[in-house]
A and B are shown apart, each in its own frame.
Chain A
């Protein structure tokens, strides 16, 4: 069963529509990648799903229930978390405080969840009292992922988790994403690193000019010569 179902989505900014009928879905515990050229509307799709820009047409359902018109602080309660493409940590807060903010809606003790995050990301565990603005790019990305896990979501939306990272750090992040998925979280991920992303995904979509052009398993998309030529940077 699909945890997320997006159908014929039309949305954009004030008068300009960026998405013109996007349909995607993400199954329980699936890892799904969305790739596509710059400006295709990938981030816009993520923001529309997460209620940050208003949807003009189409439907978005989480767990079979429409979530159109819901604010982010309602969506996190349902079990969905989102890590934006950039500026995804609070730079003046410490690592620990950032994680606490991820669990703002919770009143109970956070130590359990926090320990789990630190277990997954030992790198930031050592820096729990440091101000997050001083972290490296990789550290910040780990913190952003960790923050999104604080409410133990069932679906994680990731917008280019590997952007701007050195190859080694990038691979580490991808490994962590896999680990998160294996722990039972469905993942919908936008990536520029298309080959790598499709390689680890159950399924993938190619988004072009506000529409999903191709949809297939990760392997099949990688093997598709047309997709390869146009969107994966040649053979």
Chain B
């Protein structure tokens, strides 16, 4: 790889890190602050991506849409739709024990994936949607990927600042308090379910945003992209490694874990094809062990606050 090849690889790498950074920030709102266990990240990511894909592509014969819609309005719709689905999931589950949300979110993610997989009329089924337009392409005279990276950075910083600001508001303090100690917050007379719902919806909207931005960058999506491993599990590892409860940690985790993941991908690519599957399996085994080791040795993550685990411990004792 020559220097410019390396540079463009690096730009591409950072765009994907930004996408994961958004997913991780979204999850941090849900898990890091309010202890909502969402393992259906892939589902919200998919909804965002497919919504944008269907809305912005030119009309197609064999499926719904496209509607040739501009980038930004489509993004807004994608975000809102992700939030709406989170809202629907929240209704039956938020008033129950935390595990039910986990089971329900994995269910919705799987159902969404099956739906896109099987309903060819909607989004071409397994073959996926291609030709998703690149936003502002006509205005960009320099390296487009570099432009997209700048766009992503704007989104990530925007979301980051917005979350940080929201968390400093009274609303954010209640949110944090719920994660620290639910019973105390309840005693304070706050309607916990409402705050949890807001946290679930907000986090999922950011995941939807990540999906939309991903689709516009890669220009092609298929149900394959939204399998639990790459879209859900990695995000969890990122957040836990980075430090749940810290937005900086969420972003750092995205960078570090995607870095490791890509590095092992490079290794997988150099082994002979016969071993590719095995090498791929080995990679997942390694990341699974990595997760368990973090949980055992440094459960608060690289940048996480210790108190998160303490709160969990305290809750358990009561």
Residues of A within 8 A of B (CB): 13-14
Contacts and interface: CB of A to CB of B under 8 A. Distances in A.
B306 interface: no
Contacts, number: 3
Nearest to A53: B317
B310 to A, nearest CB: 9
Contacts of A14: 314, 317
Interface of B: 314, 317
Contacts of B314: 14
B317 to A, nearest CB: 7
Contacts of A13: 317
A146 to B, nearest CB: 29
A61 to B, nearest CB: 27
A13 B316 CA distance: 12
Nearest first, the 3 closest Cβ-Cβ pairs linking A and B are: A13-B317, A14-B317, A14-B314
A155 B288 CA distance: 50
Contacts of B317: 13-14
B309 to A, nearest CB: 13
3 contacts: A13-B317, A14-B314, A14-B317
Nearest to B318: A13
A13 B317 CA distance: 9
A14 B314 CA distance: 9
Nearest to B310: A14
A14 B317 CA distance: 9
B180 to A, nearest CB: 15
A87 to B, nearest CB: 14
B117 to A, nearest CB: 43
A82 B180 CA distance: 33
B181 to A, nearest CB: 13
Nearest to A13: B317
Nearest to B314: A14
A13 B313 CA distance: 12
Nearest to B313: A14
